[in-house]
Structure 1
Amino acid sequence: MPLPTTVPTRELVTIADSTLRIPDQNCLTHLQFRRFAGCPICNLHLRSFAVRHAEIRAADIREVVVFHSSAAELRKYEGDLPFDLIADPTRTLYREFGIEAKPRALLDPRAWPTILRSVVTVSMAVLRKEKPAPPAKPEGGRLGLPGDFLIAPDGRVLASKLGQHADDQWSVDELLALAPSTKARH
């Protein structure tokens, strides 16, 4: 299935029950596809975006993160993140954007160092009672691959990346390097 080159305008409901429009007509949208609510790898990755959220917003980018979990599960595990979270337990958006769920998500050795680091980080947060333990049987399974799309206000996909393993997604620095300046977009 070919990756989308344009994204039709649509409204999505966040886990906070607010409605957002994609593409955002006022700024770039970074549409991230992650795995399940409570995923240690996703949590570690998204915390790196949360820490630099002001910098991302200053670059005129809106973060929107999609999980294949329910809104209730997302609120429980990820509700403190400073950006919009979308529950897609039926994987409708995942299919539309070509995001797969394959065993290589966890079996690829390139993901193992981050898997180990994320399990230790989450385990420490659980022991300190800062976070609930990740689900033993996550909604939608454990095998989702990440995906990143940078979408212009007019719906054009400026850049995209389909992950080859569970830790194969854009960093904040990669995202910022991909974003054209505000003047260049207008």
Structure 2
Amino acid sequence: MPHLHPGDPIDSLQLTAINGQTIDVPHPEALTHLQFRRFAGCPMCNLHIHSFVRRHDELRQTGIQEVAVFHSSTADLLAQHAHAPFALIADPHKALYRQFGVEAGWHAIWDPRSWPAGVRGLLRHGFGLPGQGESMLGLPADFLIAPDGRVLAVHYGSHADDQWPLDELLALAKSLAPSKA
């Protein structure tokens, strides 16, 4: 599928999180941040996800439903991220990746801009190799979706560590949230 753009509608989805909870995307009353990460043991993804775990209360206070998709199995995600206070979606066959136009390529890991985060992630979380069906070549992507299903903002990463930092997401959400008249 081609890339989505701000203003594009998405079809309503019911996803099953790794804890068995059903998640509606979009959320009927909150903004949804749908983030696509690489594989469960990815050092850069672990750094990123842990920053969202630490500051999850800020996401909720801003009115954001957080949903993170990995092209990993449920078992691999539970082994790495069972403690996450938000929905993690296992998509080992990359159906959602295709639906949202999220890509992969060698530039994911060969781009030197991703290397510092890779080293920090290795030092903090250890070395995680991709499991069966996973790939180091995945690229991240972020979508901010309104309750009516419109894409408010989107970012397709150009390398493995190219995603919205939490502060940027919070600022986007505050500036783009539908006004409550």
Q: Give yes or no for TM over 0.5.
A: yes
1-side partners of 2:158 and 2:10: how far apart? Answer: 22
Other structure's SS at 1:21 match: strand
Other structure's SS at 1:63 match: strand
Alignment of 1:75-114 (within 5 A): 75-114=78-117
Alignment of 1:132-151 (within 5 A): 134-135=128-129, 137=131, 139-151=133-145
2-side partners of 1:93 and 1:2: how far apart? Answer: 13
Q: Give 5+ residue unaligned stretches, structure 1.
A: 124-132
Other structure's SS at 1:31 match: strand
**Structure 1 stretches (4+) deviating beyond 3 angstroms?**
135-139, 180-183
Which of 154, 162, 169 does residue 175 from structure 1 map onto?
169
Other structure's SS at 1:155 match: coil
Moved more, 136-145 or 83-92: 136-145
- The C-alpha deviation readout for 1:46-75, integer Å capped at 9, x for no partner, is 111111110110000010000001111111
Which of 33, 47, 50 does residue 36 from structure 2 map onto?
33
- 8 Å CA contact 2:43, 2:118 repeated in 1: yes
1-side partners of 2:88 and 2:180: how far apart? Answer: 26
1-side partners of 2:161 and 2:49: how far apart? Answer: 11
After superposition, the Cα gap between the structure-2 partners of 1:161 and 1:122, relative to the gap in structure 1 and judged at 3 Å, is same
- 8 Å CA contact 1:37, 1:138 repeated in 2: no
Per the TM alignment, residue 134 of structure 1 is displaced from its structure 2 partner at its CA by: 2.0
Other structure's SS at 2:179 match: helix
Per the TM alignment, residue 82 of structure 1 is displaced from its structure 2 partner at its CA by: 1.0
Other structure's SS at 2:125 match: helix
Other structure's SS at 1:42 match: helix
What is the aligned-residue identity percentage?
Answer: 51
Q: Give 5+ residue unaligned stretches, structure 2.
A: none
1:165 is aligned to 159
Superposed CA RMSD in Å reads 1.6
Task: State how many pairs are aligned.
Answer: 177
